[in-house]
Chain A
């Protein structure tokens, strides 16, 4: 039985959280449709002129495509690396397995500013800065535990007897891997890859440290612009982020179901 007072207290707190979570998104969407030249409340009427302006603004559009490219590189790097590591951690008995675990959690335990500056120095020493691929690789490194996590939790659900059964039916190691192991961890691979893509698309601090004027990604571009004047064209660009996020959530829900995040290991 849930008492009345409990419902009021819990849902009161949930509503405060809900408002705080959604307010910036809703306001940005609202502001992007204003017909005025500055952002006011209530808005000055409806228009799509800021979207039109953004579509023509070469810089913002270029920054958007750079962010897409960075996210693609990050996903292409992280998907195989994270999948294999996730399988290794949950299905193989590694000697010093605990050490490997702690080591692979380094991207989370080292603060982003530390990782970012370290990678900046490393890529700088290699003369790689000024390209987009170091940013993609950097995003793959700093978020790698996410995909290892999601793959290893699906791999832990696979009954080891299935792999033995495949071998018993004459499948070699490669065939067992592709026909049994990989399909079983696919939900984890999909979840992890989507997360990697979205997080790389949004990555701000590490991008900020690795970009120059030619490789500016969209979050960095927005950050640089809000420090000067706040105009509605930024709201229109931000709506692109919101749309990408919404698409990713819909995809995630279709493919594996959002409820997967509520399951206990």
Chain B
């Protein structure tokens, strides 16, 4: 005689209903496709970007009629021809590439010792302090940080006030190329360190000690042992920093004061100042192509580094 006082808990009912529902909606025979089912929402969401690229591509093939301020009906490649032959855009593109290269080199030069010190320090407190100092600016956002630099470096800013105390004439520190580079390096440092640190964690400290006991000085141990072993991290960090600074908008706009435009600023101006969607779209698509080309080239030359998404062991 079964015990009738036992009541099947509500949670079990709910779970049974869910399982039955799942069996109807997604029979176990479909289980080979379950991975795709789970990935589907993400694929759809990212599909918005693909739609956007298609829209940009379409807009880039219509020219602006300056008499009516409407986009032409006919498809043409005139915008691309304009962008390629224009000396202005050549200069802007060159400036962005140079700035991105400089920023990458400087950021890695500072991110490497930072990550190294953070990973190797024996003190948990120091490690936490270094991590917090890294995350705070990372979480604050570009605009607030650039605003801080305006207060520090402005004509009436802290640096010039202090120089004034010593009797030095104010120097124009802002709205030039070095100011933008400086802002970008500061902006990129957390990205660089966070991409490098896992690669450095993976290198056992014994390798360095071994190099030292075999007679290598510490700069040689770093150069010949640590740097080659950290290559995946360096590549990952380099790619991220390079592409983010190449396409940055805020730093050139705020710290460059309009005189140091990057490609992104030129694209923005085409859309919101000149209202020439066609030329702006052509420039945007060319920037996407340039960025993908660089990333693709580095991937094929050096491998994906630490950027691979599925952390399969």
Contacts and interface: CB of A to CB of B under 8 A. Distances in A.
B71 interface: no
A202 interface: yes
Interface in B280-308: 280-281, 284-285, 287-288, 291-292, 295, 306-308
Contacts of A148: 42, 309
A93 B306 contact: no
A131 interface: no
Contact of A21 (B28, B118, B137, B310): B137
B38 A84 contact: yes
B56 A118 contact: yes
B97 interface: no
Interface stretch (B1-9, B75-83, B86-94, B246-254): B246-254
Given A118-B53, A226-B147, A24 B198 contact: no
A209 B281 CA distance: 14
Contact of B39 (A85, A230, A253): A85
Nearest to A174: B18
Given A85-B41, A104-B46, A22 B136 contact: yes
B164 to A, nearest CB: 10
A27 B42 contact: no
A115 interface: yes
A80 B41 CA distance: 9
Nearest to A80: B41
Interface string B125-154: 001101111111101111111111111101
A156 B311 contact: yes
A13 B113 contact: yes
Contacts of A3: 218
Contacts, number: 334
Given A119-B48, A202-B140, A230-B151, A84 B55 contact: no
Given A111-B291, A174-B19, A141 B45 contact: yes
A106 B143 CA distance: 25
Interface residues of B, number: 107
A113 B198 contact: no
Q: Which of A25, A117, A174, A208: most chain B CB closer than 10 A?
A: A117
Contacts of B135: 245, 249, 252, 258
A236 to B, nearest CB: 12
B29 to A, nearest CB: 13
Nearest to B117: A14
A259 B309 contact: no
Interface of B is mostly: helix
Interface in B181-201: 185-186, 189-190, 194, 197-199, 201
A16 to B, nearest CB: 7
Contact of B156 (A2, A40, A175, A227): A40
A219 B117 contact: no
A23 B152 CA distance: 8
B45 A113 contact: no
Contacts of A175: 15, 18-19
B176 interface: no
Nearest to A38: B156
Contacts of A140: 45
Given A114-B284, A118-B53, A259-B131, A248 B139 contact: yes
Contact of B287 (A111, A259, A265): A111
A76 interface: no
A262 B147 contact: no
A125 B52 CA distance: 10
A106 B49 contact: yes
Contacts of B53: 110, 114, 118
A169 interface: no
A174 B15 contact: yes
A25 B19 contact: no
B264 A205 contact: yes
B119 interface: yes
B56 A28 contact: no
Given A92-B38, A172-B19, A198 B311 contact: no
A227 B147 CA distance: 10
A185 B50 CA distance: 29
Interface string A145-187: 1001100110110000000000000001111000000000000
Nearest to B264: A113
Contact of B49 (A18, A82, A110, A244): A110
Interface string A111-130: 11111011111100100000
B141 A219 contact: yes
Given A105-B309, A258-B131, A121 B55 contact: yes
A228 interface: no
Given A118-B55, A209-B268, 5 more contacts: A24-B151, A110-B53, A204-B250, A249-B136, A264-B202
CB-CB nearest 4 A-B residue pairs? A118-B52, A24-B148, A92-B35, A202-B141
28 contacts: A3-B218, A5-B218, A9-B113, A14-B117, A17-B113, A20-B110, A21-B133, A21-B189, A25-B140, A28-B147, A28-B148, A77-B45, A88-B39, A88-B42, A100-B39, A103-B46, A110-B53, A111-B246, A111-B264, A120-B52, A141-B48, A201-B141, A202-B139, A202-B142, A203-B141, A242-B144, A249-B136, A261-B197
